[in-house]
A and B are shown apart, each in its own frame.
Chain A
């Protein structure tokens, strides 16, 4: 609202100090998360199960009924969304400006609706007016071909249970892409798929992002997958944003101790077996709050100050950020 003309460097999505609480009981699950996603950027969000990454994104994009944004500021394309009635405001962007791909391709397609109908419905909802049956059909078939569905004209009239998981996830992508969003949010889109299919679906998504200038937020528990696929990675733990780091720096440059610990768990070609280390202790759930670092109890470097000091927040929304109270990983 303070941007009459959008400067080219203005990020597509800016999230400032986002705090998310459950509707029932009002418990704060995610606190003080700030980050920005640029146009055409592929941005990763990593975290263990229960770190709050799905809750954060689903709430940010109006898809979580039982939680709400209680504090913070979300700006999309220079327009700040109101905190009051946030869900309705952000849902107004879904279906054209923002696309979303849910986790499980086996349940994210309507089992009783033909594939073609599900894509043409998306086209109709994005455009807001009917394009004509024949033209919509052609657009849908072209899109199915683009995401790699063999014999798309045949697939148009088929039902979801006639496709494998990988094919279904491609169809879900086709649905999201058919609306020509500026930002695509993919929540663990490949977790239910085998490794090779996973790779192919991600490649397809990245290819599409490159050719159409689509910004992507890719959410995953798999740091290695993100390291190979995205530009920057935001690391969530216990409902806190601990680190924002360029993917290329993970494993090569100093990062937040948690990011380093996560990377140390991953077997790679360069690593000896002795270098693969698990993180001691149990992961904490989301909702740790902002006093003290959620990772302190498991951190090899932890000092008493880590347990009590207020957690640094990414107030300036810098492109790289480390919340380490000891200054580790700061750039």
Chain B
């Protein structure tokens, strides 16, 4: 348990550091938000008034302290543009993005783990070369290009999947308590909406996952390849264990640890990379929201998005760490 507590404390510390750095950066980099917020025709008096209202006249550290205090109360500040609490914006925009990332991650894992394991086992074979080629292609193609091609061909020409949006026109009235339509529709027993949501997720999730899957296959292969050279594999062969048994019962559990750590990080990276896919497929989400906030110099919104993505990133890593801790018998016994 000491290990879990230590991981949690460490995560909170990382979060604080992250928050401070982004807060500082946005203050240093962005133009004067008061001028932007006041609009092009505002006079000096209006700008000064706004600056006071926004707390921009206070020292930087004070501003940061006030901001941290608000965050502890779940208040991410008020957008200078929409005049809405940012927390409610984030709660609205985050679920569609998380849903997208979740499905993309599933695709990633479903491809990376078996392919990584097989290429490690048959390293140097023609199969390995072929996968390597595919991985290079996957890693080399820009996400936006893949997204557009998929949209044009699979959705446009073949009409197999919807082109854009989160839900079809017939289901436009649907809403749920959590904002995760996959979950909400299941909870409501509405299979129609569930399948519609899923259909809208397939192409964007695939486009988003491609680059990450390419990395995932290589990471898994690297993690597994050393395991196959270890003597316990020789002993398992000498015991008469079949190749699938050696791969899944013996090698997988030992080689998965470093790979899973990377997958945990990928979850956070994906959330930060949703914008292109969301833009092309016309999906609401945290990525589009962030871009809008940046172009409008809406500093509190930018910092809030970075903060929330950071929280998700750290949470994903924390969960992976705890999962590995629980799954690893050796750590358990030492504690």
- Contact between A91 and B240 (Cβ–Cβ < 8 Å)? yes
B232 and A121 form a contact (CB under 8 A): no
Is A102 interfacial (CB 8 A cutoff)? yes
Q: Which residues of B contact A62 (CB under 8 A)?
A: 237
Rounded to whole angstroms, the CA-CA distance of A112 and B253 in the bound complex is 7
Contacts of B234 in A (CB 8 A): 63, 100, 102, 108
A95-B239, A121-B241, A176-B238 in contact; A109/B333 too (CB < 8 A)? no
Complex CA distance for A112 and B57, rounded to whole angstroms: 59
B231 within 8 A of A: yes
The interface bits of chain B over 227-239 (1 if a CB of A lies within 8 angstroms of the residue's CB, else 0) are 0001110111111
> B244 in the interface, Cβ–Cβ < 8 Å?
no
CA A63 to CA B250, docked complex, whole Å: 17
Asked if residues A125 and B241 are in contact (CB atoms below 8 Å), the reply is: yes
Find out whether the CB atom of A125 lies under 8 angstroms from the CB atom of B239.
yes
What string of 1s and 0s marks CB contacts (under 8 Å) between A44-83 and chain B? 0000000000000000011100000000000000000000
Is there a chain B Cβ closer than 8 Å to A143's Cβ? Answer: no
Cross-interface CB contact of B236 among A99, A110, A112, A159, cutoff 8 Å: A110
Tell yes or no: B175 within 8 A of A by CB: no
Partner pick for B239 among A103, A104, A121, A162, CB 8 A cutoff: A121
B328 beta carbon closer than 8 Å to chain A: yes
Find out whether the CB atom of A112 lies under 8 angstroms from the CB atom of B333: no
Any chain B CB within 8 A of the CB of A179?
Answer: yes
Query: Does B329 sit at the interface, judged by CB under 8 A?
Result: yes
Which of A61, A112, A172 makes the CB contact (< 8 A) with B235? A172
A233 within 8 A of partner (CB): no
Which residues of chain B are near A107, meaning CB under 8 Å? Answer: 230-232
Tell me the chain B residues, 307-335 only, with Cβ under 8 Å from chain A.
328-330, 333
Chain B residue numbers with a CB within 8 Å of A112 are: 253-254, 328-330
| Residue A147 interfacial (CB < 8 Å) | no
The answer to whether A99 touches B238, judged by C-beta atoms less than 8 angstroms apart, is yes
Give B226 Cβ to nearest chain A Cβ, in Å.
Answer: 11
User: Closest CB of chain A to B27's CB: distance in Å?
Assistant: 48
Is A94 an interface residue when CB atoms closer than 8 A count as contact?
A: yes
Interface residues of B in 121-170 (CB under 8 A from A): none
Most central of B235, B238, B254 by chain A CB within 10 Å: B238
Known: A63-B238, A110-B236. A104 touches B329 (CB 8 A): no
Number of B residues near A (Cβ < 8 Å) is: 19
Partner among A61, A103, A108, A162 whose Cβ is within 8 Å of the Cβ of B333: A162
Residue of A nearest to B254 (CB): A112
A108: which of B235, B240, B241 is its contact (CB, 8 Å)? B235
Number of interface residues of A (CB under 8 A): 33
Given contacts A102-B234, A111-B232, A112-B328, contact A94 B253 (CB under 8 A): no
Bound complex: CA A62 to CA B254 (Å): 24
Contacts of A172 in B (CB 8 A): 235
Which B residues touch A176, using CB under 8 A? 238
Q: How many Å lie between the Cα of A111 and that of B333 in the bound state? A: 13
Q: Are B328 and A126 in contact (CB under 8 A)?
A: no
**Chain A residue at minimum C-beta to C-beta distance from B238:** A100
> Per-residue 0/1 for B73-103: is the Cβ within 8 Å of any A Cβ (1 yes, 0 no)?
0000000000000000000000000000000
Docked pose: A125 CA to B249 CA in angstroms:
13
Tell which of B235, B236, B333 has the most Cβ of chain A within 10 Å.
B235
Residues of chain A with a CB closer than 8 A to B254's CB: 110-112
What is the CA–CA distance of A94 and B234 in the complex, to the nearest angstrom? 11
B127 CB → nearest A CB, Å: 15
Q: A126 to chain B: which residues have CB within 8 Å?
A: 239-240
**Chain B: CB-nearest residue to A126:** B240
A242-B260 Cα distance, complex, nearest whole Å? 51
* Contact A102 B333, CB 8 Å, known A111-B232, A112-B253, A112-B328: no
As a 0/1 sequence over residues 114 to 125 of chain A, the CB contacts with chain B under 8 angstroms (1 = contact) are 100000011001
Q: Are B231 and A102 in contact (CB under 8 A)?
A: yes
Enumerate chain B residues within 8 angstroms of A254, measured Cβ to Cβ: none
How far, in whole Å, are A172 and B330 apart by their CA atoms in the complex? Answer: 19
**A108:B329 contact, CB within 8 angstroms:** no
Please measure, in the bound complex, the distance between the C-alpha atom of A108 and the C-alpha atom of B328, giving whole angstroms: 18
When C-beta atoms are compared, the residue in chain A nearest to B250 turns out to be: A110
With A102-B234, A103-B231, A113-B250 already in contact, the answer to whether A159 and B239 are too (CB < 8 A) is: no
Given contacts A102-B235, A112-B328, A179-B239, 12 further A-B contacts (CB under 8 A): A94-B238, A95-B239, A95-B241, A100-B238, A101-B238, A108-B232, A108-B234, A108-B235, A111-B330, A112-B254, A161-B330, A175-B239
Can you list 24 A-B contacts with CB-CB less than 8 angstroms, sorted by A residue number?
Answer: A62-B237, A63-B234, A63-B238, A91-B240, A94-B238, A94-B239, A95-B239, A95-B240, A99-B238, A101-B235, A101-B238, A107-B232, A109-B235, A110-B232, A110-B250, A111-B330, A112-B254, A112-B328, A112-B329, A112-B330, A125-B239, A125-B240, A159-B333, A175-B235
Q: Top 10 closest A-B pairs, CB basis?
A: A95-B240, A100-B238, A108-B231, A107-B231, A102-B231, A110-B232, A125-B240, A108-B235, A122-B239, A112-B253
